[in-house]
Amino acid sequence: MAFTTLNVFYGTIVHSISIDQLEIASNSLLVVDNDKGVIVSFEREVNDVEKFLEKLDRSYKLFRLTPEQFLFPGLVDTHAHAPQYLFAGSGMDLQLLDWLNTYVFRAESSFKSSQVAKDAYTKVVSRFLRNGTTTCSWFATIHLEACKILVDTIQQLGQRAYVGKVNMDQNSPDFYIEASAQASLDDTRAFIEYTLEKQDQQKLITPVVTPRFAITCSSELMQGLGKLAQEYKLPIQTHLCENQNEIEFTCSLFPKSKNYTSIYADHGLLGDKSYMAHCVYMTDEEIDMLAEYNTGISHCANSNFSLHSGVCDVRRFLNKGVKVGLGTDVAGGFAPSMLDAIRSSFFASKCTLMAHRDRKEKYEHLGTSELVYLATLGGARVLGLQETIGNFAVGKAFDALVVDLNSENGSSVDLMGHETPLQKVEKFLFNGNDQSLAHVFVQGRRVAGSASSLE
């Protein structure tokens, strides 16, 4: 029994069963197979722990959670730009297209240097892990070498990730554009091959086909990317209907398509593995299209406020059965934290609620159960990972946070002491930060956390 093969957590376990069902299980046991990083057992309301442990036929280590601690699923960020992290929180004066031209393209072009990429990517991935983002869907830049560095960095640091080499072959500055549609497709294929070769058994990292948005991609390029995604059975991510000027310009570039959403459909980019960031300004017809294609959306509320793009009413998408997850959209969104994405989504839904004040129909803002779902299981569904992560179902990977609200351990949360378990979860969502995350696990491996170690 020298080698510990199981980790057993005993205490309060919080996760989403569905969008309207948040389970808070007290006195419960979660058993994790350390070799595979997979959940092998979830026992609710266990009063005699010793008796349960006696039944285990393998060596184990028991972690008793305190009343201020609970297990929470790892957070899933469905949309973030890794190369934009270092200027997050600066240059917040402009709207989307001016912001891209003034700040973003110049900053991203510096990732031509492998050293710039190494330094920046180590910082951003470490920061996201510390903030509890166990899975992230990343946009990188157009540079093949820097994209490979992002993959290597993520692999070293242990995050689960989708990584996209960005495609841009038109309407981009001379210093930040690919030579041709074919050159862009060739580099994308090389990136996909590199990433697939690097995949280990657990497949923590997946390449994602990433046309930046229709403005910077020719028809030939988008068509080719759709075919590449099909050939390798890969997901596709891009931006859609974020800003009114953007929509107008986009539609003027592709007059044969009926609307912005149709541009992607007409180029073979919509499908059940695709997900679209923002979707602030969508007609009912366009939302119906997403539902028909089973294409998901990434709701990036901080970014939609910060670039004053608008307020996305995600209730419209949820009501039509469209898959919805949350995204930080760093650096359109200034915060590299999914707790912030939860709070921003809460504000956005309160804005929509206030806009409904004088209307007849009833409107419900996003509640606690919905917010947790969108940041975990909902995001997992958007990424097609609902069988692997998102909650603590037996058989799923142990991607998890040990939340510790005890301020003596450094948490940013102070408790009255008589909170209900649900109130503790809400305090974490609204007042917690990286200091409230004692341990962060991906596939059973501890990859970050404010506590010094797992002991």
From the list Fe ion, ligand GUN, none, partner contacted by residue 322 (C-beta under 5 to 8 A by kind): none
Torsion of CA 194, 197, 198, 203, to 10 degrees: 120
From the list ligand GUN, Fe ion, none, partner contacted by residue 187 (C-beta under 5 to 8 A by kind): none
CB of 394 to ligand GUN, least distance (A): 38
- CA separation, residue 310 to residues 57, 78, 241, 407 (Å): 56, 19, 10, 37
Closest C-alpha among 48, 55, 54 to residue 28: 48
- Measured in degrees and rounded to the nearest 5, phi and psi for residue 265 equal -60, -45
Q: Under 8 Å CB-to-CB from 292, ≥6 apart: which residues?
A: none
Q: How far apart are CA 29 and CA 43, in angstroms?
A: 5
Q: Which is nearer to ligand GUN, 171 or 386 (CB)?
A: 171
Rule CB under 6 A: which of 329-358 touch ligand GUN?
329, 332
Q: What is the CA radius of gyration of the chain?
A: 22
CB of 379 to ligand GUN, least distance (A): 17
From the list ligand GUN, Fe ion, none, partner contacted by residue 165 (C-beta under 5 to 8 A by kind): none
Closest C-alpha among 11, 114, 112, 19 to residue 64: 11
Name which position in 239, 365, 396, 424 contacts ligand GUN (CB under 6 A): 239
Binding mask 64-93 for ligand GUN (x = CB under 6 A): -----------------x------------
Q: How far apart are CA 335 and CA 375, in angstroms?
A: 15
Dihedral-angle region of residue 339 (phi above 0 means left; psi in -120 to 50 means alpha; beta otherwise):
alpha
From the list ligand GUN, Fe ion, none, partner contacted by residue 424 (C-beta under 5 to 8 A by kind): none
Rule CB under 5 A: which of 274-293 touch Fe ion?
277
Q: Which residue is nearest to ligand GUN (CB)?
A: 332
CB of 348 to ligand GUN, least distance (A): 15
From the list Fe ion, ligand GUN, none, partner contacted by residue 104 (C-beta under 5 to 8 A by kind): ligand GUN
**Alpha helix locations (H) across 131-204?**
144-157, 181-198
Q: Is the peptide bond before 448 cis (omega within 30 degrees of 0)?
A: no
Q: How far apart are CA 209 and CA 417, in angstroms?
A: 48
CB of 303 to ligand GUN, least distance (A): 5
- Buried residues in 303-325 as b, exposed as e (16+ CB within 10 A): bbbbbebbbbbbbebbeeebbbb
Q: Which is nearer to Fe ion, 249 or 363 (CB)?
A: 249
CB of 432 to ligand GUN, least distance (A): 26
CB of 242 to Fe ion, least distance (A): 8
CB of 242 to ligand GUN, least distance (A): 5
Stretch that binds Fe ion, among 159-167, 271-279, 282-290, 400-408 (CB under 5 A): 271-279
274-278 β-sheet, strand order: 236-240, 274-278, 296-299, 324-326
Q: Which is nearer to ligand GUN, 167 or 369 (CB)?
A: 167
Q: Which is nearer to ligand GUN, 19 or 124 (CB)?
A: 124
Q: Which is nearer to Fe ion, 212 or 323 (CB)?
A: 212
Question: Is position 178 an interface residue for ligand GUN (rule: CB under 6 A)?
Answer: no
Centre a 10 Å sphere on the Cβ of residue 197 and count the other Cβ atoms it contains: 7
Name which position in 77, 242, 399, 434 contacts ligand GUN (CB under 6 A): 242
CB of 131 to ligand GUN, least distance (A): 19
Q: How far apart are CA 127 and CA 75, in angstroms?
A: 13
Closest C-alpha among 274, 215, 224 to residue 242: 215
Amino acid at 240: L
Q: 219-232 and 181-198 are packed helices; what angle lies between their axes, rounded to 10 degrees? A: 20
CB of 40 to Fe ion, least distance (A): 38
DSSP SS3 for 217: coil
From the list ligand GUN, Fe ion, none, partner contacted by residue 212 (C-beta under 5 to 8 A by kind): ligand GUN
From the list ligand GUN, Fe ion, none, partner contacted by residue 213 (C-beta under 5 to 8 A by kind): ligand GUN
Question: Is position 303 an interface residue for ligand GUN (rule: CB under 6 A)?
Answer: yes
Stretch that binds ligand GUN, among 96-104, 123-131, 249-257, 445-453 (CB under 6 A): 96-104
Q: Which is nearer to ligand GUN, 97 or 190 (CB)?
A: 97
Q: Under 8 Å CB-to-CB from 168, ≥6 apart: which residues?
A: 142, 176, 177, 178, 184, 212, 216, 217
Q: Which is nearer to ligand GUN, 140 or 339 (CB)?
A: 140
Extract the tokens encoding 212.
Answer: 């930046």
Name which position in 143, 212, 299, 381 contacts ligand GUN (CB under 6 A): 212
Question: Is position 329 an interface residue for Fe ion (rule: CB under 5 A)?
Answer: yes
From the list ligand GUN, Fe ion, none, partner contacted by residue 166 (C-beta under 5 to 8 A by kind): none
Centre a 10 Å sphere on the Cβ of residue 354 and count the other Cβ atoms it contains: 12
Q: Which residues sit at the interface with Fe ion, rule CB under 5 A?
A: 277, 329
Residue ranges that bind ligand GUN, judged by CB under 6 A: 81, 96, 100, 104, 212-213, 239, 242, 303, 329, 332
